[in-house]
Amino acid sequence: MQELIYNVIPNVMGKLPTFYQAIGDTLIMALWSGTISFVLGMILGVIITVTRSGGILAHKGLYQVLDKVINFFRSIPFIILLTGVMPVSRFIMGTAIGVEGAIVPLVFGTVPFFARQIESALAEIDHGLIEAALSMGKSPLEIIFQVYLRESISGIARGTTITAISLLGLTAMAGVVGAGGLGDYAIRYGHDRNQTDVTYVTVLVLVFMVSIIQIIGNRIVKKNTH
């Protein structure tokens, strides 16, 4: 069996430590940038929801500023964002290359997307529930946690799943600028050295990761759908 695997994917088997390192780097980038993006995106999504016209904390000026900032970063292709925020990466992480250097642009590229996903999820809340909470004298903070977030768990889970899959794709794209991970591995060995088995195995691993994320997301959505 082992001999058969060596015959099918010889270049991958010949560099197994490098392959395992690439998988580890991808997971590190995804977990760190994903965690940061989840927190920041959640906060932004809630703020633009409650400050929009008719919101419980309506504030036209703040909403307009945040809305335009989110739209601005969402309109920038990630490959351009990678190089554009290099000075910020150097300032925050001390480097603009490798796994550490990729986290900052990944956050910049993911937070606006996730914030829109949260905004969309919260927009599905029945406005009658919010009016009922207001009539009961609940504070804006209580409404945010007890109505908006509690009643939209399935929508948030759905948006988180979509964002996580998108983020995984961005980590692979970050390999173009030497960020490490499976993208860098596929480009350096699969593309530059014309080792097609490396490319195919990388694709299979990414498909497997996406499938796991989708399965987990679907289960959470199903469990919290009323």
Vertex 56: Cα angle to 50 and 61 (nearest 5):
55
Q: Is the entire prediction scored with pTM above 0.85?
A: yes
Ranges of beta strands (E only) in the chain are: none
Q: What is the mean pLDDT of the chain?
A: 89
pLDDT over 90 at 12, yes or no? no
All structural domains of the chain with their residue ranges: 2-224
Output the CATH code of domain 2-224: 1.10.3720.10
Predicted local distance difference test score (pLDDT) of residue 1 = 63
Residue 81, both tokens: 């964002």
pLDDT over 90 at 44, yes or no? yes
Q: 85 in helix, strand or coil?
A: coil
pLDDT-based confidence at residue 226 (cuts at 50, 70, 90): low
Vertex 51: Cα angle to 50 and 52 (nearest 5):
95
Percentage with pLDDT > 90 across the chain:
50
Q: 97 in helix, strand or coil?
A: coil
Total Cβ atoms within 10 A of residue 92? 15
Q: Can you tell me the distance from the alpha carbon of 183 to that of 98, in angstroms, rounded to the nearest whole number? A: 12
Helical H segments across 75-148, by residue range? 78-84, 86-93, 98-123, 127-135, 140-143
